[in-house]
Amino acid sequence: MARIFSQNAENKLLEAGRELLWKYGFRKVSVEDICKRAGVSKMTFYRYFENKSELTKRVLNNVVSEGTDNFRKILTDDTSVAVKMQRIIHLKMDGTKEISREFVEEIYNDPGSELQQFMIKLTTDTWIGILEEFKDAQARGVFRKDFKPEILLAMSRGFSELIADPKLNSLYSNTQEMIVEMTNLMTFGIAPRECEIKHVSNEK
């Protein structure tokens, strides 16, 4: 029973942290705010997390891990290329839904900060694993065979600068719209050409 309560308390803190961080950003949210939303004491908070930064890292890691797992399922399921593209875009939309511009800017506009360094490493490590998934998908004809998946990693590193650009930001109603735009450009740019789709179909 104690273990179940322990897991519930930890999950409540993570859920409350994600909700508040997404809405208000890192700086405006305090440990007290998270505890109040989760319905637990500060003593309970510090039983699981050293500080607010550690909770934020867990939240980010959980979100990225969940997104990566879903992405891999999309690449390997038995659906058409068009359906895969649509699901990838919707996955990205869901992943960025309700993220405040403040939270994104706090991470990407604070060079050398603990959270920025964590996010850079998390993103890089995640992409390294996904590159292999892309190569497997290429072999199955899901994506163009003549593009180098490694360029996606290089492009993703430049996204942080674009997201943090105030002039570019002003063109969009929110951060999610901007991220989806980038995803659209990247995703449909690597879709197989019609001749490749026919070739793969003939092989089957």
Q: Which helix (H) or strand (E) holds 140?
A: none
Residues 82 and 30 in one domain: no
Residues 102 and 176 in one domain: yes
What one-character-per-residue DSSP string does 47-93 give? HH-SSHHHHHHHHHHHHHHHHHHHHHHHHHSS--HHHHHHHHHHHHH
Residues 191 and 134 in one domain: yes
Q: What is the pTM of this model?
A: 0.69
Handedness of CA 91, 123, 26, 32 (dihedral sign): positive
Q: How far is CA 32 from the centre of its chain?
A: 26
Q: 29-33, 172-176, 183-187, 191-195 — which one is most confidently predicted on average? A: 29-33
Containing domain of residue 193, as a range? Answer: 52-203
Helix axes 101-108, 2-24, angle to 10 degrees: 90
Residues 63 and 109 in one domain: yes
On whether the CB atoms of residues 178 and 163 are closer than 8 A, the answer is yes
Residues 194 and 156 in one domain: yes
CATH number for position 22? 1.10.10.60
Q: What count of other Cβ atoms lies within 10 Å of the Cβ of residue 170?
A: 8
Residues 134 and 175 in one domain: yes
Cα gap 163→6, rounded to integer Å: 37
> What's the pLDDT tens digit per position in 55-87?
999 999 999 899 889 988 988 888 776 677 667
Q: What is the mean pLDDT of the chain?
A: 81
CATH number for position 92? 1.10.357
Cα gap 144→141, rounded to integer Å: 7
Residues 146 and 73 in one domain: yes
Backbone angles phi, psi at 163, to 5 degrees: -65, -35
Q: What is the count of structural domains for the chain? A: 2
- In this prediction, residue 200 has a pLDDT band, given cuts at 50, 70 and 90, of very low
Residues 45 and 92 in one domain: no
Cα gap 151→5, rounded to integer Å: 45
Residues 148 and 123 in one domain: yes
Higher pLDDT, 198 or 101: 101
Those residues whose C-beta lies under 8 Å from the C-beta of residue 42, and which sit 6 or more positions away, are 31, 32, 35
- In this prediction, residue 4 has a pLDDT band, given cuts at 50, 70 and 90, of very low
Residues 32 and 91 in one domain: no
Residues 74 and 25 in one domain: no
Residues 44 and 67 in one domain: no
